[in-house]
Structure 1
Amino acid sequence: MTSARPHIDVRPISEDEIPDWARALNTGFLRGPRATDAEIADRGSYIVPSRTLGAFDADRCVATFRSFEQELTAVGGATVPADAISNVTVTATHRRRSLLTRMMAQDLAAAKDRGDVVATLIAAEYPIYGRYGFGPATWATEWTIDVPRAGLDPRRAGPEDGGRVDLVDSEDVRKLGPELHERLRRAQPGAIDRSERWWQVTTGALRLDHRPWTEPFHAVYRAADGTVEGLAAYVCDDTWSDAKQPLCTATVKDLVAVTPAAERALWFHLCSADWVVRVKTGWRAPDDLLPLLLPDPRAATITTQADWLWVRILDVVRALETRTYEGTGTLVLEVVDRAGMTGGRWRMEASPAGASCTPTTESADLTLDVAELATLWLGDESAVRLAALGRVQEERAGAARVADALLRTSRRPWCPDMF
């Protein structure tokens, strides 16, 4: 005879429970079962207990979940309030007990009540979040550049457009970086805001005992008029061959550029550093200009390409009315939401002048899950492709092509950040 499983309480944590919650988080991510005092103090400085959930079996935390405020840039540059989800774990001893489902339901309900338009996350594993209405809305690509093969002129001294690249210190980055990033994210669908703490941590002003720190190099691109248009942070290893030949790799930690000239200048700077024979780009947009900036694009080899930002739409009307549209057209969408949060039939009328989205009883043109709507909303995915996969149902012939003409963007959305 087996004993009944005890009830597990899912609720927001108290400040006193942060150490137990941090231990459960580290256990779930296989970082080891202990949270240091420094880590506990750091987490206590920024987490919001009312938005930090734990699942408790008696007095022990066995699952974790945290959300926080975020702004997400929609197509066209307007931002929407987002419920950013992170630190999701379930301890191996308590799997298959619907703990994640209960935590997710609590958080999304609170987010909808607050008026958040979407929820966002970066998924450690692909199959988990589709059942909660999330869809992959941006992708990311990492390249490794074989510098000797790239074909760059070794006699090149710097930008040829009148601009210049300067190395600066972390203090300069804390002054220049936030405004530059704001310029990027206001123009980049899929980008998110960066907090003051983000800049403090990434520039070493706030050093955390539980995170190894290496001071990066910082390169700034200034246009001919002195305007800062790009910033790169990177680290280099110290690798040499047995024949005393340098084999160093430069690894990009962050590269923000608001003009093609800035992108070109910063990538060429990285590929021109003495001793560097390889550049790892970090996570970039899948349609980044980089490979084609090189005389030999084959010198840039894709190392990783994967889904990145996942989106869950909480308010269909505000999501579709906030973004912009290059074409003109009308679609009736039957949105299926198994959680009952935002499903229904909606008539969308869109044009370059704006869009309206209203409930309707008209026959649907397309039927799709709210997760598939999320993959289309930022402009990256094709409704025609989703229809071919059976993930969008075309109720009117040609409706998927109309959706693509309205929703797809000329450049792909991109989220530069992990959270």
Structure 2
Amino acid sequence: MDTELKVLRRDNMDTWYAGLMRAFGGVDESPEEREVWDDLTEFERSIGAWDGDQCVGTAGAFSFRLSVPGGAYVPAAGVTMVSVAATHRRRGILTSMMRRQLDDVRALGEPLAVLTASEPAIYGRFGYGIASRQLSAEIDTSRVTLAVPPGTDAVRLRYAPVQEVAAQCEELYVRSVGSRPGMPLRTPGWERVPLVDPPSEREGASPLQCVVAERGGEMVGYARFRTKPESDAAGPRGSVQLRQIDAVDPAAGAALWRFLFGIDLTSTLHVRNRPMDDPWQYLVSDIRRCRIQVRDVLHLRLVDVGAALGARAYRAPVDVVFGVEDAFCPWNSGNWRLTGDTGGASCVRTDDAADLELSVRELGAAYLGGTPLAALADAGLVRELRPGALAEASLAFGSQKAPWLPHGF
């Protein structure tokens, strides 16, 4: 390889970013988006692969704390902005950047690395497993009705300027983070990401709108969305594009969903990036007319197996020895004894025989509780060596709520 890896500097940021944009299609982001990402970029955690004065590879990381089962927040590297120039493919550039990055993550003492993949086939060879999925839907609101729980009618809804209520909406987000695995605890500056609303992304829809739900004068939920007016010979057939929705209880959530289903002059509700167990699914009259789709979201890698498994809690008592294979980060390979329950856990190296054998990729997939170890075993990716160990571990690794990543990074 005739390239050199260098830490990003402010004076070569434009060249570095131009290479990134070219690799992702060559369409520049809006000034609004660029400003947000410029402010959030951690230069000391970003690297470029340089061939002379050309930047032919990019990779960065954000310093996150990720919610895990049990409610703890675990330090995690949010891997981002990864690209290789089309002129320099198959030269080992991506592998060299992943090697450098994971070594740095380990040196910083972060047990986890996470990313969202433009192409999911890329990162498995570096030990990343699919740890959470997202649900999307295209709901025919002209034919699908919504049942609501008691108390819904006591919730008051009102339109509010997006920026005016942004701080209150962020407070609701912070309250919800610890209850669902896979959500980043947003540090200052990250609250701007859900509000980015460039005209180039609207595709003829309105600017971002916000409706808040209140009870007794207190905000109990909100929804951010766009509306797109359309019509044909039969009349209006506009659509609603849901961006974010959050509520503190079922009644508040149902009030917001009912509002979104009933906006005048619309007949379709586009839902993007919602948890797999999102409650609206159980309130609709006809799930088939919701055209649900599922895709991968958060890819997760255990950088330090012992620290990562010891940082979360478990739904049931567990005492299992994992035989872990990790070719890319060999310090993880070997046998690890996990003991834990709902109160916490410990995971240490052991000379005891393994009860289950698997790769670090499968551990990453199961870590947040969204992918059962039993399902991975059915696929031939986990091998049970002690009878009963698979059922014990699969139950313990489960999560009361499905893991979910609410926005990209």
TM-score bracket, shorter-length normalisation: over 0.9
Displacement of 1:242: 1.9
Q: Which residue of 1 aligns with 2:320?
A: 331
**Which of residues 99, 102, 109 is equivalent to 1:108?**
102
In 2: Cα distance, 1:43 partner to 1:352 partner: 38
1:68–1:412 Cα change, 3 Å: same
In 2: Cα distance, 1:239 partner to 1:35 partner: 27
Secondary structure of 1:149's match? Answer: coil
What is the root-mean-square deviation in Å for CA atoms of aligned residues?
A: 2.4
Q: Which residue of 1 aligns with 2:8?
A: 13
Conservation of the 8 A alpha-carbon contact between 1:159 and 1:165: no
Conservation of the 8 A alpha-carbon contact between 2:131 and 2:367: yes
Q: Which residue of 2 aligns with 1:28?
A: 23
Displacement of 1:332: 0.5
Displacement of 1:336: 1.3
Superposed CA offset, 1:305-334 (max 9, x none): 111101111122222222122211310011
Secondary structure of 1:171's match? Answer: coil
**Which of residues 117, 132, 151 is equivalent to 2:126?**
132
Conservation of the 8 A alpha-carbon contact between 1:22 and 1:35: no
Tell me if 1:343 matches 2:337.
Answer: no
Q: Which residue of 2 aligns with 1:228?
A: 219
- Alignment map for 1:2-401 (pairs within 5 Å): 7-32=2-27, 43-152=37-146, 160-203=152-195, 215-223=207-215, 225-243=216-234, 245-302=235-292, 304-339=293-328, 340-401=330-391
Deviates further, 214-223 or 106-115? 214-223
Conservation of the 8 A alpha-carbon contact between 1:22 and 1:40: no
Displacement of 1:91: 0.8
Q: Structure 2 length as normaliser, TM-score?
A: 0.92
Displacement of 1:200: 3.2
Q: Which amino acid aligns with 2:18?
A: R
Superposed CA offset, 1:15-59 (max 9, x none): 111111111101110124x78988776654332222111111111
Q: Which amino acid aligns with 2:78?
A: A
Q: Which amino acid aligns with 1:15?
A: R
Q: Which amino acid aligns with 1:229?
A: V
Matched pairs, number: 405
In 2: Cα distance, 1:81 partner to 1:218 partner: 32
Displacement of 1:218: 0.5
Conservation of the 8 A alpha-carbon contact between 1:251 and 1:279: yes
In 1: Cα distance, 2:260 partner to 2:33 partner: 34
Superposed CA offset, 1:280-314 (max 9, x none): 11111112111211233333221x31111011111
Unaligned runs of 5+ in 1: 1-5
Secondary structure of 1:165's match? Answer: strand
Displacement of 1:195: 4.3
Unaligned runs of 5+ in 2: none
Displacement of 1:210: 7.9
In 2: Cα distance, 1:15 partner to 1:186 partner: 35
In 1: Cα distance, 2:249 partner to 2:327 partner: 42
1:343–1:173 Cα change, 3 Å: farther
**Paired-residue identity, %:** 31
In 1: Cα distance, 2:95 partner to 2:207 partner: 40
Q: Structure 1 length as normaliser, TM-score?
A: 0.90
